[in-house]
Amino acid sequence: MKSILFEKVRIGKTVLKNRIFMSAAASYNGTTEGDIDYSDPILHFDISNGGCALIPTGGVSGIHPRGRSNATRPMLNSDERIPSFKKFADKIHKGGALAILQMTHGGACAAAYQFSIGNRPLSPSFYMKNQKKGFKKENIENCQASEQEIFELISAFGDAAVRAKKANFDGIQIHAAHDSLLSQWFSTLYNLRTDSWGGNVKNRCRLHCEILKEIKNKTGNEFLTVLKLGIEDSLPGGTKAEEGIEASAIIASQGNTDIIEISQGLQDITDMNSTSMKPNINSLDKEAYYRDWTKRVKSRIKHNALVVMQGGLRTPSLMEEIIENGEADFVSMCRPYIREPGIVNRWISGNMSKAACTSCNQCAFNHVFKGMRLKCIFNKD
């Protein structure tokens, strides 16, 4: 089957076998020491073997001692963790896809766990005493990261990227969307700083730029750097799309980012329709819900980085249209792979019917949110 979706793409010396990626999903648990449980990369191998070109791990928040949000989040802040991560990368490679390590940090959202182990949380400005009570004045406690802590964090990201390279990953993805520390840092809700790390858009995305620069300096130009960037918060008073698009241009102009994947910023998880996991995507008009943001980013950053569109994509003809129109360089899915790991090969073979995923979100609610392996309820094994 001939399609622009199935064209190979070269980035430096790296060749992607097609234009269809996977967006990260937390499909495993870590040990208390921080290793990835090796029984869990099975699904990632199936997706790789099923035709996907690039697969990131779920978020590895333990790249910094204060980044972990619970006791079973994988960690890569020590060389001792490299062997288990290498097994994960090798499993993805065996199926033919590129292996990307997604690095994140819990920031203020890791406060409860960090306090439980005797640590002070790391935050742009504050943490919430009770996450359910939100941004009420009486619910926030000042906890602004010092400049020394910021530079230690930047160095930790760089060191973790070096370990990822030693573990045979093809690159890293910095998680700067959803509730991650970098999403908090960019958000006008969490970042109340008045120094050079807060205030205007350039200052609020300075940390992103410094981390990406550190990684490139420590790993070299042939090690892919991918940024998952939250463009707009869905919470009242949060960052607006215009700011996120401006940030994408600032970050891309630095020359340290190979690929930018467009996503949601801070989100209200009590309303799934305002999150990156919108339910009931059962018609074409509900697909590609980040299309406008992605088109605007692609237009703004020019050729400074390649762009990935994701967000409810299910129909290959729509994906072809997006690539052919120059709205994005790549497309990405997550939930469809959970039901059909071999969906890309199905399309390549000529069966171009839309993904079978119903976007019911039970893969998350019935499995991941309960600490179990990612699984579709419609699949028997």
Name the 3-class secondary structure at 198.
coil
The answer on pLDDT for 260 being more than 60 is: yes
Burial of 119 (0-12, 13-18, 19+ CB in 10 A): middle
Name the 3-class secondary structure at 322.
helix
The answer on pLDDT for 289 being more than 90 is: yes
Residue % of the chain over a pLDDT of 90: 78
Ranking 245-249, 275-279, 291-295, 363-367 by mean pLDDT, the lowest is 363-367
Ranking 42-51, 174-183, 206-215 by mean pLDDT, the lowest is 42-51
Structure tokens at 128: 């919430």
Q: Which residue has the tokens 């009420």?
A: 136
Q: Please give the pLDDT value at position 268.
A: 84
pTM for the full predicted model = 0.96
Q: Which residues contact 15 (CB under 8 A, 6 or more apart)?
A: 8, 9
**Residue count of the chain:** 381
Q: Are 339 and 375 in contact (CB under 8 A)?
A: no
Confidence band of 27 (pLDDT split at 50, 70, 90) = low
Confidence band of 29 (pLDDT split at 50, 70, 90) = low
Q: Calculate mean pLDDT across residues 244-264.
A: 99
Q: Would you tell me how many other CB atoms lie within 10 Å of the CB of residue 148?
A: 8
Name the 3-class secondary structure at 171.
strand
Structure tokens at 104: 């994140």
Summarize pLDDT for 64-94 with one digit per residue, the tens.
889 998 888 889 999 999 999 999 999 999 9
Q: Considering the domain 4-370, what is its CATH architecture?
A: Alpha-Beta Barrel (3.20)
Q: Please give the pLDDT value at position 30.
A: 78
Alpha-carbon distances of 22 from 51, 52, 152, 371, rounded to whole Å: 10, 7, 31, 21
Summarize pLDDT for 41-65 with one digit per residue, the tens.
568 899 999 999 999 998 888 788 8
Which residue has better confidence, 272 or 366? 272
Q: List 176's β-bridge partners, or say none.
A: 229
- CB burial of 174-212 (b: ≥16 within 10 Å; e: otherwise) equals bbbbbbbbbbbbbbbbbbebeeebbeebebbbbbbbbbb
Residue % of the chain over a pLDDT of 70: 96
